[in-house]
């Protein structure tokens, strides 16, 4: 069932694009050249290191409010619909997702899990140290 996630992402993107093209025709995205040459405080902060809120605002401004709302709505609708489809697929195959999730912790021995936990801690510490130095 690992293949289902990329298929779901493709179907979601396809549905969002088709819906956007069919329903929203008069809204033009921002001109990339206009945004690049803009000197307002919003655009000039994007050339530095923008935070999460600035990135969201820039994406909404680029797409347009209606397109962004439609895109997010399609993500929500497709997530629920494809999640239910996967549940029905599991049901049809006679699999229980709770049984599968409960067995995953028993696959690896405790020593291997501890080793990976220490590795992750070291990797996160290195990443934070590297980010602070910049």
Closest CA to 8 of 67, 87, 85, 91: 85
Which distant-in-sequence residues (6+ apart) come within 8 Å of 30 by Cβ? Answer: 61, 62
pLDDT tens digits, one per residue of 80-119 = 999 999 989 888 888 777 665 555 566 778 888 899 999 9
Q: How confident is the model at residue 45 (pLDDT cuts 50, 70, 90)?
A: very low
pLDDT of amino acid 12: 92
Residue 76 has pLDDT above 90, yes or no: yes
Query: b/e per residue, 24-38, with b = 16+ CB within 10 A?
Result: eeeeeeeeeeebeee
Q: Token pair of 87, please?
A: 């549940």
Q: What angle do CA 52, 58, 61 make, to 5 degrees?
A: 140
């Amino acid at each position: 069932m690992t293949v289902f996630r990329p298929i779901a992402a493709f179907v979601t993107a396809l549905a969002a694009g088709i819906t956007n093209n069919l329903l929203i025709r008069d809204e033009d995205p921002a001109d990339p050249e206009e945004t690049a040459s803009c000197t307002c405080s919003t655009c000039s902060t994007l050339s530095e290191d923008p935070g999460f809120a600035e990135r969201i605002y820039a994406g909404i401004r680029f797409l347009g409010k209606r397109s962004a709302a439609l895109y997010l709505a399609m993500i929500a609708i497709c997530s629920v619909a494809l999640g239910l489809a996967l549940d029905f697929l599991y049901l049809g195959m006679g699999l229980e997702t709770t049984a599968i999730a409960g067995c995953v912790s028993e696959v690896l021995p405790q020593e291997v899990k501890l080793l990976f936990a220490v590795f992750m801690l070291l990797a996160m510490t290195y990443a934070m140290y590297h980010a602070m130095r910049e």
